[in-house]
Amino acid sequence: MIQLLHRVTRGRGVAAALVGALASGAVLLPSVPAHAQAYPTKTVKMVVPFPPGGSLDITGRLIAQKLTEAWGQPVVVENKPGAGGNIGADLVAKSPADGYTILMGALSTHAVNPSLYRSMPYDAAKDFVPITLIAITPNVLVVNANSPVNGVKEFLAYAKANPGKLSFGSGSNGSAGHLAGELFKVETGTDAVHIPFKGAAPATQALLAGDTQFMFDNLANAMAQVKAGKLKALAVTTASRSPLVPDLPTMAEAGLPGFDISTWYGFFAPAGTPPAIVAKWNADVAKILNAPDVRAKIVADGAEPAPNAPEQFAQFIAREQAKYARIIKASGAKVD
């Protein structure tokens, strides 16, 4: 009996000591990681580094709406255009790595600009964690509906007959449209002036108004104007024909073998973002992109949904960086 009372008394003493230690903070219990708690618990900002109205912005807003519905927290789009996407990308690179500021980056921000710009405000490889590729869209050579040319060979003859007189617009320096034009000049020996705009929408308007003569626009942007008969599509810039426009020939078929340029965009988080948050974004965005209604909308705009794993996205970006480094070196294109 005495031994039992001793054990009970000792147990009470240990419990009392533990309570006291907890109150004083002397005992440290394993903490629950912040990222393991419910996410998100507040508004999430999706930074689009280009102006409103382009295909990237439209797709971003569609995904933001679906994430808002799924998470019960607002996912808001914030447009931060400028410097070929560098301004918006830099903002995200320097944001807290907590999952509440995410970049909808693109070909320019992560594959082209590191070679195109003499000085970069961020390191495309070290300052971000790839989340997932969203979509890929072919670029297409388009001219005004009133243009006298109806095919790539006619256009090439027209360009050679008017050296230095033709101009082409693009959504920004370093965009796929810009580099497609530079590659065209290198491959054909033609001379044309590049005019960068702040987004694909104003570049398209310039072509429609006759201020520029041609454009390598992404199919998602050009589709509506081509269907309306306001622009003529001459060829896609991908190595093979696009299932989105199977009747449209490739630049390679028109006599420019190896011509292969497309636009893509995907999600990135600041470096150091907890893997659990990256995984949640990856899984939930893939679910959204594979939903029949979302997929149909993206395809109707001329893009092909292509969600993948973060590791696959990182490998894809590395290949794209190497490819565009070669194109930029060959063309001599640079931006101060």
Sign of the dihedral through C-alpha 302, 55, 173, 121: negative
3 state DSSP class of 161 = helix
Cβ atoms of 214 and 155 within 8 Å: the answer is: yes
Structural tokens at position 48: 């689009």
How far is the C-alpha of 329 from the C-alpha of 322, rounded, in Å? Answer: 11
Binned at pLDDT 50, 70 and 90, residue 198 comes out as: confident
Check whether 192 has a pLDDT greater than 90. yes
pLDDT recorded at residue 28: 40
- Poorest-confidence range of 225-229, 241-245, 292-296? 241-245
Q: What is the mean pLDDT of residues 41-64?
A: 94
Determine the average pLDDT of the residues in 208-212: 95
Instruction: Give the distance from CA 7 to its chain's centroid.
Output: 66
Q: Rounded to an integer, what distance in angstroms lies between the CA atom of residue 232 and that of residue 141?
A: 8
CA 238, 105, 41: angle at the middle one, nearest 5? Answer: 140
Q: Which of 32-36, 153-157, 318-322 has the lowest mean pLDDT?
A: 32-36
Q: How confident is the model at residue 7 (pLDDT cuts 50, 70, 90)?
A: very low
Residue 64 pLDDT > 70? yes
In angstroms, the CA 95 to CA 83 distance is 19
Task: Record the pTM.
Answer: 0.77
Could you tell me which residues come within 8 angstroms of residue 77 by beta carbon, excluding any fewer than 6 positions away? 46, 48, 57, 60, 61, 64
The answer on pLDDT for 161 being more than 60 is yes
Instruction: Look at the block and give the residue holding tokens 């005019």.
Output: 195
Please check the confidence at residue 45 and state whether its pLDDT lies above 90.
Answer: yes
Regarding predicted confidence, which is higher, 332 or 58?
A: 58
CA-CA distances (angstroms) from residue 253 to 15, 215, 218, 234, 239? 81, 19, 19, 11, 9
Domains in the chain with CATH codes: 39-136+263-331 (3.40.190.150), 138-236 (3.40.190.10)
25 has pLDDT over 50: no
Place of tokens 């109205």: 53
Q: Let me know how many helices (H) and strands (E) the chain has, helices first.
A: 12, 10
Closest of 306, 308, 318, 138 to residue 234, by C-alpha: 138
Round to whole Å and give the CA distance between 288 and 62: 10
Q: pLDDT tens across 260-310, in order?
A: 888 899 999 999 999 999 999 999 999 999 999 999 999 888 788 999 999
Q: What is the dihedral of CA 201, 122, 306, 289, to 10 degrees?
A: -80
Question: Any idea which of 86-90, 197-201, 321-325 has the lowest mean pLDDT?
Answer: 197-201
pLDDT of res. 21: 39
Q: How many CA atoms lie within 13 A of 300 on its CB side?
A: 8
Residue 320: pLDDT over 80: yes
